[in-house]
Structure 1
Amino acid sequence: MDNILSTGADRTNHVQQILQRVAAHRLSGIDIAYLDLRADHRTSFTLFISELAEGLHSQGKTLTLTLPAPLKAIDRIDEGAYDWAALGESADLIKIAPVRDQSTYRLHMPEVLDHITSLVDPGKVILTITPYASEKSGDGIRPLTLAEAMTIASKLAIRSESLVAGSDVQIVGVNIDRDEGLSGLRWQAETATVAFTYKLNGGRTVWLENSFSAGFKLEFVSVFNLGGLAVEDSSDNDFLGNIWIAVEPFVASGQPVLQQPSHSHLLPQWKVTAGSLVGGDRGLVTWQTPLEAGSYIVTLTLSDGVERFESRIVLALPPAETEEPEEAP
C-alpha cells in the first residue's frame, strides 16, 4: 500500500483509477476493504477515503468500507490505522469485518461496538457474520469450511493391536476422545459456538459457525441498533456452515433467534455393519466383532447441531486362530 498512499499524488491517482473503473462498469458504488494497513497509514488512508468519497458522491455513487474491528487493549480501544470518526463522515456504510478469534468475541465486542457507535452513526455500521469456522493454534487463526472442520473432528483410528473375528476392537475418534483430555464437540457458552479441541503441534481449538452462533452474533445488531448485517460468503456452498436459519427470521422480524443445540445432538453416533458396539459417547467405542471373518464398516456420525457428517473405516477381520488338536500318543 505504500505506493498507493505514500503521497498526495499517489492517493489522487488511485482515486481517479477507481472512479474510472466505477464509471466504465456503470457501478452504483464500490466497497473498499484494505484490512491490513499499518498504523502509520492512518492519516493517508483517511485522506484517501475522503477524496474518494467526494468523487463518488459527486457522481451519485455510494462508498462502503470494510474495516477490521478495533482491538480491545488493557486500558483503551485501539483503532490502529483506521480513524473511525473521520471515516464514518466520508463513507455511506462501514462493515465490520468478521472477527475470527471467538475466545474474545463476546467478551470484547460490546466495548468495541460502544466505541464505534460513539463515533459513527449506528445506522451506518454493518456487522458481518461468517459461515466459516475458525481454528486457533500457536501459529495464529485460520478460517475453515464447516466440512473441513468436521473432517478434522471425525478422524478415525484403530486403538487395538490386532483385528480378529470374535474379539473386542477399540475404535476412536482421534480428535474428540474425551478420555485423552479433549473436549469433544460441545456448546461453549462463553463463545456461544459449538467447538472442540484437538492435539496437533501444541493443541488447537476449532469454533464452528452455524445458525446457533449466528443468532447470538445478530443479537449485537439489535442491542446496538446497527444498520444491518452482512454475510462474508453468501454463495451456495454446501461445505459452509448453515447460518441462514438464523439470518432469515432476523431479517423478517429484527429479532435474533437465541438457541443452543441439544447436548444429545452433539454426541458421537456409531454404527457397524455386524457385531455390536459398546460405549462411544466419549469418543471411543468398543466393537465386539462377529465370529465370521470378512470386511465390515464402522461409521461415526457427528453433528454441529444443524448438519450431520459421516466418517467411515473399513476393517478386514481374519478368522480367529484355532489350536490344532494334539495327536494321541
Structure 2
Amino acid sequence: MSAAVVVLIVAGVLVMLPMPRDAAPAGDPVGDRITSADAPGDLSPADRPLRVIGYLPYWEQPEAVADVEANRGWLTTAAPWWYAPTRDGDVVEQHPEYTDTSDRVVERLRDQGMAIMPTIANHRDGEWDFEVVPELLADTTARARHVRALAELAAARDFDGIVVDYELLGADDRDNFTAFVTELADALHADDRRLGVALHAQRSDAGEGEHHRAQDYAAIGAAVDELHLMTYNQHYDGSPPGPIAPLPWVSDVIAYTLRHVPAHKVILGIGLFGYDWGGGPVADDLQLTHADTRIAMTGRTPRFDERSASPYLRYQRSGVDHELWYENARSVAAKLALVERHDLGGAFFWRLGSVPDDIWRTAERTLGDGS
C-alpha cells in the first residue's frame, strides 16, 4: 500500500510524483428514495442490468479518460480517484497540483453517457494516511460534518453518487466505519444519489488481518447500493511472488461475500496491473502496457498458470532472477465469467489508463451486452 513513483515532464521539468500502490442499505425504501433493490439502472446513463465501473487515477487521468472514450457504450460509470478526507471532516482534492476535477473533465465523461461517482480515499499528496479516518470517524461531530460535506459535494457537482475507499482501518474502527457508511447512505439516498464502498477482499469473518476485522460485510452491504470487492493483491509488492488475483481465491471471496450481501449489490474488482519481483524487497508496480514492454524486451514467452488462471514470466536481468505476474485478456475473461456465474451486480476495473486493447475487447464481449 506504500507509494510508488510516477515520472512526469511538466513544462520541460522532470517531476517525480508519488503514486499509490494497489493495495487496492439501511432500512426499507421510503418514497422514491434510491435503494439497491430498485432497478439496476438507477441513475445510470443506460438502462442495463450490469454496472461496469472504471476507476480513473488522477496521476494518469488523460490516458484513463481516453480509455473511457474508446469504450463508449458499455462502460456505465466513471469513478475518478479525486478526493480525500481531513480530520475535521472536510473534503479536499487528493493531490491538487496534479488532480483535475474541473467541470470540463466531468462533462467530457458525461458526453460518453456515463454516470459519475468520484472516489474519496485516505490518500493525499501521493501518500496513504492510515490515521486520518480512524480519528475522523471516532469524533461524531467531525463524522457528521464529513457526511454533510460529501452529500453537499455530490449535490453541488450533480454527481450520481460517491464511492468510499477507506483502506487498512483497524478492528477498533469497525463500529464507527459501519455507522459512517450507514449515515452517508441515508444522506445520499435522500437526494436520489448512490453510494459505493470499496472493501478489502476476505474469505472469513476473521479475515487475515486487522483491516478485515474493520469490515462488517453484512451491515455495510445492507446500507450501500454497491459493494466494490477489491479482489486483487492476494500477492502484492511486499509479498513473495505469486498471482495477483488467483481464480480459486477470487471464488472463495465471492462465496464469503454472498453469504452476507445480496448478489446484485456485489461489484467484482478486476486489477489491471502487474508486479515484477526481483532485485529488491519490493516488487515493481507495472501498468499492463509497461508489463508487455518489459516482457517483449526479454525475448521470452510468458506462461499461463492454469490453477490460478494467471500469466507469469520468470527471467533474468543483469544476473538477477525476476518473476513477473500480471493480468491479460485470458485471465481477465476467467474472472469476468464469475460475474455471470454468480449473478453479480457488475464489475469494476482498477485502474484505467495504459490498458491493452485486447483486454477491453474481451471485457466488452463479456459485459457489454449486459448479460
Match of residue 169 from structure 1: none
**Conserved? CA contact 1:123–1:226, under 8 Å:** yes
One-letter code of the match for 1:152?
R
Confirm or deny: 8 A CA contact 1:46 1:86 kept in the other structure. yes
User: Gapped runs of 5+ residues in structure 1?
Assistant: 157-172, 177-183, 256-329
1:121-160 pair list within 5 angstroms? 121-136=262-277, 139=281, 143-155=285-297
Residues 76 and 23 of structure 1: is their aligned pair in 2 closer, same or farther, counting only changes over 3 Å? closer
Q: TM-score, normalised by structure 1?
A: 0.61
TM-score by length of 2: 0.55
Asked which structure has the greater CA Rg, the reply is: 1
In the other structure, the counterpart of 1:32 is: 164
Q: Structure 1: how far apart are the matches of 2:306 and 2:148?
A: 49
Task: Report the alpha carbon displacement of residue 219 of structure 1 after superposing the two structures with TM.
Answer: 1.7
Counterpart residue identity of residue 198, structure 1 = Y
TM-aligned CA deviation for residue 45 of structure 1: 0.7
Paired residues of 2:244 and 2:325 also in contact (CA < 8 A): no
1:233 corresponds, among 341, 351, 371, to 351
For 1:208-223, list aligned pairs within 5 A: 208-223=326-341
Cα deviation digits, residues 74-125 of structure 1 (max 9, x gap): x967733111100011101111124033266223222211110110000000
2:189 to 53, 57, 60: 57
Report the counterpart of residue 191 of structure 1 in structure 2: 308
| 1:233 CA displacement | 2.9
Tell me if structure 1 keeps the 8 A contact 2:231–2:253: no
- Greater RCO (Cα-Cα under 8 Å, separation 6 or more): 2
Identity %: 26
Q: Partners of 1:143 and 1:40 in 2: how far apart? A: 31
Label 1:153 to 1:103 Cα distance change in 2 as closer, same or farther (>3 A): same
Alignment partner of 1:31: what SS? strand
Match of 1:4 in 2: 136
* Cα contact 1:72–1:108 (8 A) shared by 2: no
Change (3 A) 1:192 1:139: same
SS at match of 2:166: coil
- Distance in 2 (CA, whole Å) between partners of 1:4 and 1:152 is 42
2:348 aligned with 1:207, yes or no? no
The Cα of 1:205 is off from its aligned counterpart by 2.5
How many residue pairs were aligned? Answer: 227
Aligned pairs for 1:8-87 within 5 A: 8-70=140-202, 79-87=212-220
Conserved? CA contact 1:103–1:191, under 8 Å: no
Say if 1:50 and 1:140 are closer, same or farther in 2 by CA, change over 3 A.
Answer: farther
Structure 1 residues 41 and 242: alpha-carbon distance in aligned structure 2, compared to 1, 3 A threshold: farther
SS in 2 for 1:153: helix
Give the unaligned 5+ runs of structure 2: 1-132, 236-242
